[in-house]
Amino acid sequence: MTSRRTLLGAGAALALAATPDTAKPAPRETQPATAFGTVGDGRTDDSAALQRALDATFAPDSRNPFLVIPPGTYRVSRPLRIDFRGDQTRPCGIVAHGARIVSQIDDGRPVLSIASGATVRLLLIEGLDVQGNGREGHGLSIDCDDKDHYLYNFCLRDLTIQNCGGDGLRLLGNVFEGQIINSYFRKNAGNGATFAHGLSGGILSAIHVFGAVFGDNGGHGAALVHHCYDVAFHGCYFLLNARFGLVAENGVTLLSNCGFENNHEAAGDFARGDAGIDLRGFATLIGCTAYSMFNQTRLLRAYVVGRLVMIGCSGDGDARARGAGLASLAGRKDASAVAIGCSGTIDYRDGFDGVEIGNAAGGARFPADWRSPNLLRIGEHRLWVDGRGRLRAKNGRPAADDDGGVVGQA
């Protein structure tokens, strides 16, 4: 079986060998959808014409690997599908600024699905606007559920996917090293976006999401499921979703400068609400904020299995969410949580504790339980507070609550 590492190495070597010293970008070879009979007037059923255009564009021997869909409204009554059956490692894609796909699909199938049973590289989907009716499935589904093939180095940008009956966007399987940029996933019945490892094979990884909005969805804003975690969100906003803004069942690589506002719209009131993020595993959060006036209770609820780091994050609220805070944390005894320069209350559950440096109360706070991996260390000495409220110290890791000596006593 060809490994991912072998594939990438061979691809890089071939690219270097084929590149002249004075290489210039190759012109993008395009063909208009109108060449296949599309109309785009909002009344004509363009399903068949668009499918012919997709079939021709993404055929293995296509001489025009970019489909341009002109501005217009394209009504579709059946799903559109791209099937990669042969390897496609040259740039290819759809450019559709100003083009709106209006779904009249009513049987739960996706509006546009991309299925790869081959190795696909450099796929671009740009400018597409998908408007669902609530009876179809996902708005855009990209699937490479195949342990021996890959869909990678892709880019989805300037997309709008709304009102679909499933998820707005679904990525599954061996889909990696891609970007999702400046896109809008709103008012879908499922999640705004779902990311998952393959069900039969394939690892989703190295996905970066920039400046996207996940809002008003009937499920979560975004969900990382089926063991995947290697997705990073930068400058994204998660708001007004029925449930969590983000669910990360196995951790999330990075959240930077992301906002979580008024999620848990389905909760009914603040007492039954929950956090913007539901996390199990590990994460790094930098400059993330949570604000609520309704049912969102805090930025983060987590069960920490590895390491959780929060830097410059905040959580607060007004109106009925005046009691909103930063985080509620539990976790394994060997896990660690560190909050630096954050604001908002942190509630620790089930004996879990963390390190807080430069919070609103000032100074630094360290765990008190002798079993914590986050005890204050001075050299090799650990300090903790025993069950009788006395400060204790030991050179090395303590073996019991009464280990070491009481500080201040001979």
Residue 173 lies in a domain: yes
187 and 299 in a single domain? The answer is no
Query: Is 327 or 334 the better-scoring residue by pLDDT?
Result: 327
Report how far apart, in Å, the C-alpha atoms of 157 and of each of 3, 139, 163, 340, 381 are.
Answer: 29, 15, 19, 33, 52
The token pair at 331 is: 């976790």
151 and 197 in a single domain? The answer is yes
Q: What average pLDDT does this structure show over 113-141? A: 97
Query: Is 208 or 362 the better-scoring residue by pLDDT?
Result: 208
Beta-strand relationship, 381-385 and 376-378: antiparallel
Does 373 have pLDDT greater than 90? no
Residue 224 lies in a domain: no
| Host domain of residue 349 | 235-365
Tell me the pTM.
Answer: 0.88
Asked which of 21-35, 44-58, 251-265, 324-338 is least confident by mean pLDDT, the reply is 21-35
240 and 178 in a single domain? The answer is no
pLDDT tens across 26-50, in order?
A: 345 788 999 999 999 999 999 999 9
Residue 109 lies in a domain: yes
Q: What is the DSSP string of 10-71?
A: HHHHHHHHH--TT--PPPPPEEEGGGGT---EEEEE-HHHHHHHHHHHTSTT-S--EEE--S
pLDDT at 199: 87
Residue 12 lies in a domain: no
31 and 162 in a single domain? The answer is yes
Residue 208 lies in a domain: no
Torsion of Cα atoms, 14 then 17 then 18 then 22, to 10°: 140
Residue 193 lies in a domain: yes
151 and 249 in a single domain? The answer is no
43 and 157 in a single domain? The answer is yes
Residue with tokens 């990678």: 152
Asked which of 5-19, 104-118, 311-325 is least confident by mean pLDDT, the reply is 5-19
348 and 385 in a single domain? The answer is no
Percent of the chain with pLDDT over 90: 75
Among 267, 233, 268, 266, which residue's Cα sits nearest to residue 247? 233
314 and 376 in a single domain? The answer is no
Tally of structural domains, the chain: 3
Residue 3 lies in a domain: no
355 and 405 in a single domain? The answer is no
Query: Is 31 or 14 the better-scoring residue by pLDDT?
Result: 31
Residue 221 lies in a domain: no
pLDDT at 379: 87
257 and 183 in a single domain? The answer is no
Angle 356-360-366 from CA coordinates, rounded to 5°: 20
Does 134 have pLDDT greater than 70? yes
pLDDT at 28: 56
Does 18 have pLDDT greater than 90? no
361 and 374 in a single domain? The answer is no
Asked which of 1-10, 69-78, 160-169, 276-285 is least confident by mean pLDDT, the reply is 1-10
Residue ending a domain, among 203, 226, 257, is 203
377 and 357 in a single domain? The answer is no
